[in-house]
A and B are shown apart, each in its own frame.
Chain A
Amino acid sequence: MKEIRIHGRGGQGSVTAAELLAVAAFADGKFSQAFPAFGVERRGAPVQAFTRMDDTQIRLRSQIYEPDFVIVQDPTLVEVVDVASGLKDDGMLIINSDFDADKFNFDTKAKIMTVNATKIALDIIGRPIVNTVLLGAFAGATGEIEPESIMEAVKERFPGKIGERNAEAIMKAYEMMEANK
């Protein structure tokens, strides 16, 4: 089983990202599960969402404390939330930032990767909404999921032009991370 924890702020689409990842993982032939860290979310407040992927049906209902992968949507979060908490040594933390990974000092042995998802989103989607872009980055950096599955899930959720642009941004992030692996 692979466990993914997504950190973001209310309004950044962390829950949607977790759900889309579950839809995409299932399309890839895995079983999946996505759920939010149920809070009284308000815009701007730190939030978490979780996705599990496995070859068999998932029964576990607890939150994720020892993730294989962590996705951080907003670099300002690292000052207020211990985003690397419990991250497995052989895991990976992907953070949306224009800095290089070595600028971050997390208490983890896991690999740190950065991607300037905000720039990709602004360039292609025209808005600084990075949740789908980071899923593309996740696919590229980890190889855990096919980018096409994510693109399909996003296009189904957001039909029309918005979905198309998101798909393009996903592919861009995927290719960048693939090249950096």
Chain B
Amino acid sequence: MSREMNIDKSKMTVVEGSYAVAHSVKVCKPNVISAYPITPQTHIVEDLSQFMADGEIPNCEYLNVESEFSALSALVGSAAVGARCYSATTSQGLELMHEVLFNVSGMRLPVVMTVTNRAVSAPISIWNDQQDSISQRDTGWIQMHAENIQEISDMTAQAYKISEDKDIMMPSMVCMDGFILSHVYEPLVLLEQDITDEFLPRYEPEYTLDPKNPLSFGAFADPNYYTEFRYMQQQAMERSLKKIEDVAEEFYDMYGRYFGGLIDEYQTEDADIILMAMGSIVGTIKDVVDKLRENNVKVGLLKVRTFRPFPAEAITNVIKDAKVVVVLDKNISLGLNEGALFTETKSVLYNTDIRVPTIGYMIGHGGRDIKMDTIERIIDEATEVMKTGIKKESQFVDVREDLL
């Protein structure tokens, strides 16, 4: 449930989203940063380079590499010797990392990486959607999405705490919508160094590469062993469900800020229509909810903050009493004509007694701007579904017929 936050305005400052993230990374005291610049992630790594040049991140190595593949590969070695590691990327850069993403999670290395979500080529688009990180769904990374720059800033510290927990040891992808959040200036409380020093202790892994005590990471596993590695990763993902909630609570206690753990809710208690979404669109939806509530439309928002592990139980608990569920996706599985959040939401409902009509909209692809009236129109259609049932299960929003 959304919580009142009494954030002291005098502690807030207006900065760019990318700067806020870079600042958080600095405060988390990484030992190795390895990244390759790519729009719209560039400002984050520029700001981190500046911090390095100014000597503001002690005990840290900043690696200039020749590709995203190298960027993440370098972190595999660094994390294996016990370094706290950071990278940032987006779109094609993230897709180029695909192979290495599996290596990081398979070796149980708690790397944290910011993804400034961007559409993928072709055609080339530098603008926002979430196809890039959603396409990495099955790589064994925890994946979380932020609604504003305060949340992505805070989420960065939370991600280290979750990933590095010895019961978890899984990498985290912390996602912010490219440009919409990476390039926005708005007020926030920059992550506090003193509280973070207490919140996030030094990274002390149980196992490290060490010539004096030789070990292997990611070595050969024949058919007698491979299944158990995957099983244990899945077990860790399941444990992280609780860990993510616990860390959000602990963060709230120490910093006074809370944006949800696995999910967050807005006006859902008595809602007939519940919208589900991830990332910056959540803010626009909240404004629409407030507007429609004034006209007694019983609509609410379920913000999915954590996409992996998938919060099946948390989601079903919220939507079980709704009359219609509307899932908004900034991605598409081509050939299925559904976004990932929609497909997965339906799948968790199937073997339950919950029989709520669930419809999906694919929206905001390649940076197509999402206006309040578009959301209102979708809610109008959901109201129709409530009366007459589902006519169209999943569809694109705002397709320009004149271009087809």
Contacts and interface: CB of A to CB of B under 8 A. Distances in A.
A18 B185 CA distance: 9
Contacts of A34: 184-186
Interface in B165-216: 177, 179-180, 183-187
The 8 closest A-B CB pairs, nearest first, are A59-B283, A38-B179, A34-B185, A35-B184, A23-B14, A19-B185, A33-B186, A22-B185
B372 A62 contact: yes
A37 to B, nearest CB: 9
Contact of B369 (A23, A40, A62): A62
B140 interface: no
Contacts of A97: none
B379 interface: no
A40 B126 CA distance: 8
A61 B284 contact: yes
Contacts of A22: 14, 185-186
Contacts of B367: 38
A62 B370 contact: yes
Nearest to A34: B185
Given A22-B14, A23-B14, A32-B14, A62 B183 contact: no
A142 interface: no
B130 to A, nearest CB: 14
A32 B187 contact: yes
Given A23-B14, A23-B185, A33-B184, A38 B283 contact: no
What range describes how many residues of B lie at the interface? 20 to 34
B232 interface: no
Nearest to B178: A38
Contacts of B147: 59
Interface in B122-145: 126-127
6 contacts: A23-B14, A34-B186, A38-B179, A61-B180, A61-B283, A62-B371
A92 B126 CA distance: 33
Chain B CB within 10 A, most for which of A31, A61, A65: A61
Interface string A32-56: 1111101010000000000000000
B354 interface: no
A179 interface: no
A19 B286 CA distance: 24
Contact of B284 (A36, A38, A57, A60): A60
B281 interface: yes
B34 interface: no
B369 A58 contact: no
Nearest to A65: B371
A155 B187 CA distance: 19
Contact of A35 (B13, B148, B183): B183
Contacts of B372: 60, 62
Contacts of A106: none
Given A22-B185, A34-B185, A59 B14 contact: no
B185 A33 contact: yes
Contacts of B228: none
B7 to A, nearest CB: 9
Contacts of A65: 371
Contact of A38 (B12, B183, B187, B371): B183
A65 B127 CA distance: 19
A31 B187 contact: yes
B287 A60 contact: yes
Contacts of B70: none
Contacts of B126: 38, 40
Contacts of B369: 62-63
Contacts of B280: 61
A32 B371 contact: no
B303 to A, nearest CB: 12
A159 to B, nearest CB: 15
A33 to B, nearest CB: 5
Nearest to A63: B369
Contacts of B180: 35, 61
Contacts of A33: 184-186
A4 to B, nearest CB: 13
Nearest to B124: A40
Nearest to A40: B126
Contacts of B286: 59
Contacts of A23: 14, 185
Contacts of B187: 26, 31-32, 57
Interface string B4-17: 00000000111010
A168 B186 CA distance: 26
B200 to A, nearest CB: 26
A67 B371 CA distance: 14
B185 A38 contact: no
A38 B14 contact: no
Given A26-B14, A26-B187, 11 more contacts: A22-B14, A32-B186, A40-B126, A58-B186, A59-B283, A59-B284, A59-B287, A60-B287, A61-B283, A61-B370, A65-B371
